[in-house]
Chain A
Amino acid sequence: MEVGISFWDSTSIGNYIQENLAGKKTAKQVLEAIDKDRQKLFDAQSK
């Protein structure tokens, strides 16, 4: 079943993951940051 996830920016997500490695974000905060970035794009798209 071929599906994909839209608005996936590997570099930006990788940066968040690495902030978790350095102890600056918890795992939850990493995922929330990703959601926030995607939300911006969804918002802009719907205008």
Chain B
Amino acid sequence: MKKSKMGVLNAGIPLLLTAGLLAGCGGNNNNGNNAQSASPSASSSASASATAKASDAPAKQDVTITMTAASGDTWIRDIDKEIIQDFTAETGIKIDLQIVPADQYASVLKTKLASGESADISLIWPEANAAQFLPDNNFLDLSGEPWVSTLTDAAKKNGSYNGKFIGWGPAGEDGGWGVLYNKELFDKLSIGVPKTFDEFLAACEKIQASGVIPIFEPLKDSWHSGIWMSLMGPQANAQQAGLYEGLNSNKATFASSKVFETFVDQYKTLYDKGYFGKEAFSNTYDKGMAALQSGKYAMFMVPANQDVQAKASNPDFDFTKFAEFPSPFADNKKLAVYDGTIIRVINKNSKKIDAAKAYLSYISREDVLKKVLCRSRAQSVLQGDPGDHDRSGENAPRQL
């Protein structure tokens, strides 16, 4: 019997479906390849590049290395971008910056490292806070590099993990985090800098009564709440000897620390009394400075050298009307450092290790450092009244 014409048509359709599925895969592959062979540009995807010419030091290389960092003023500052441009002009090595939203940065970086797809250079928190990225597995040991010996002891310690030197960053100043407050308003309401938590509560009450929202708290950026808690470290360690060592060797728990528990309760007290304002849960960190400037809010927890860090993005902000004091929870008087200086580390599996090393070596040069320090070092006007602390870097009570 003869097969009808319909039979052939019926056979065709499933085959087309199958072919369609397969063509889709192939097509995407082609597109992917095209994107990769495009010339390196400031795209947001890691782009391959032409091979580096074999070079002796001064010859320019045509390489692009990828560098990943979180969003925000504290990671890649304007001065960092300038340094990158200078570096490219001098060596020909281009740097492709990949910025990840700050609240996802840790998990995105961890995932990329786990899957072997991370950038050549990554910016990470130093010392203990680098542990989450498994430095032993992922980051290159730079202890033998010639420029390491030019770094100060503090910088070397900052960039070390588990005995190996893995990276560093030219920060110039790391003043910790404190509470930026409207000095003018405080003077108007005759409020002094609070030295205890009760004084802080009283201050908030007065401010609220005058019609201003006491604290700008960007709850939508939950890492900010986390930083508040991290600032409790020195106080907690002072009251419970050996807490840090215990926590780092999995022998102590946060639950056993009265200071941290007090902090959580006091933080809730502020929220319950309405000192964060009604819109706290939809506030974001980047709107904070504008909120202070408008006079709607009175206080905001920010880096201690905010007048330097945030100057470029807030040109109209009048810092003379503001000052800072340390976190007041649990009667704390110490200026605590949250980040440590963010360090640049090189991925062990990077294919462009030499170019990456060239960048790290470049930022350790004296002329480059001078430029960074002049721009970012805070002889910060925000001295405030930080209580007992030491801002010389080596001795500042630090915890991450």
- Residues of A bordering B, CB below 8 Å: 1-15, 17-18, 20-21, 27-28, 30-32, 34-35, 38-39, 41-42
**Bound Cα distance from A21 to B253, whole angstroms:** 22
Besides A2-B127, A14-B225, A18-B225, 18 new A-B residue pairs in contact (Cβ under 8 A), listed by A number: A1-B395, A2-B157, A2-B394, A3-B128, A7-B128, A7-B132, A8-B400, A9-B106, A14-B222, A14-B224, A17-B226, A18-B219, A20-B268, A27-B261, A27-B264, A28-B255, A32-B255, A38-B247
Tell me if A15 and B254 are in contact (CB < 8 A).
no
Contact stretch, chosen from B24-32, B229-237, B292-300: B229-237
Assembled-state Cα–Cα distance A6/B128 (Å): 4
Given B103, B226, B244, B250, which contacts A42 in the complex, CB threshold below 8 Å?
B250
Q: Which of A3, A5, A7, A15 contacts B222 (CB 8 A)?
A: A15
Contacts of A17 in B (CB 8 A): 222, 225-226, 228-229, 264, 267
Whether A3 and B271, one on each chain, are in contact in the complex, defined by CB atoms closer than 8 angstroms, is no
Which residues of chain B come closer than 8 Å to A39, judged between CB atoms?
250
Q: Collect the chain A residues with CB atoms within 8 Å of residue B148's CB.
A: none
Q: Tell me which residues across on chain A come within 8 A of B264, comparing CB atoms.
A: 17, 20, 27, 30-31
Q: Is B265 an interface residue (CB 8 A)?
A: yes
Whether the Cβ atoms of B128 and A4 lie closer than 8 Å is yes
Please indicate the chain B residues that have their CB under 8 angstroms from the CB of A35 in the complex.
253-255
User: In the complex, A7 Cα to B248 Cα: how many Å?
Assistant: 8
Chain A positions within 8 Å of B132 at CB level: 6-9, 41
Interface size on B, residues (CB 8 A): 47
SS class of chain A's interface: helix, strand, loop or mixed? helix
Interfacial residues, chain B to chain A (CB-CB below 8 A): 103, 106, 126-129, 131-132, 157, 219, 221-230, 233, 237, 244-245, 247-248, 250, 253-255, 257, 260-261, 264-265, 267-268, 271, 338, 340, 394-400
Whether the Cβ atoms of B129 and A8 lie closer than 8 Å is: yes
CB distance from B261 to the nearest CB of A (A): 5
**Residues of the A chain whose Cβ atoms lie less than 8 Å from the Cβ of B248:** 4-6
Contact A5 B257 (CB under 8 A): no
Say whether B399 contacts A4, CB under 8 Å: yes
Find out whether the CB atom of B268 lies under 8 angstroms from the CB atom of A27: yes
**A11-B222, A34-B254 given; A4·B261 CB < 8 A:** no
| B residues near A6, Cβ cutoff 8 Å | 128-129, 131-132, 247-248, 400
User: Given contacts A2-B157, A18-B219, A31-B260, is CB(A12)–CB(B127) below 8 Å?
Assistant: no
Q: Are A4 and B400 in contact (CB under 8 A)?
A: yes
In the bound assembly, the distance between CA atoms of A15 and B229 in angstroms comes to 12
Q: Which 7 pairs, one residue from A and one from B, show the smallest C-beta to C-beta distance? A: A10-B226, A4-B128, A14-B222, A14-B226, A14-B225, A4-B400, A27-B264
Q: Known: A27-B265, A31-B253. Contact between A3 and B237, CB under 8 A?
A: yes
Contact present for B103 and A4 (CB under 8 Å): no
24 CB contacts below 8 A, A to B, read: A2-B396, A2-B398, A4-B126, A4-B127, A5-B129, A5-B230, A7-B128, A8-B128, A8-B132, A8-B230, A13-B230, A14-B221, A14-B227, A15-B222, A17-B228, A17-B267, A18-B222, A20-B268, A27-B264, A27-B265, A31-B257, A31-B264, A34-B254, A35-B253
Query: In the bound complex, do residue A13 and residue B225 qualify as a contact, i.e. CB atoms below 8 Å apart?
Result: yes
**A10 & B254 in contact (Cβ 8 Å cutoff):** no
Q: Does A4 lie within 8 Å of B340, measured CB to CB?
A: yes
Contact among A7, A9, A21, A31 with B255 in the assembled complex (CB-CB below 8 Å): A31
Hey, which chain A residues are within 8 Å of B397, CB to CB? 1
Q: A11-B106, A27-B268, A31-B260 are in contact. Are A4 and B254 (CB under 8 A)?
A: no
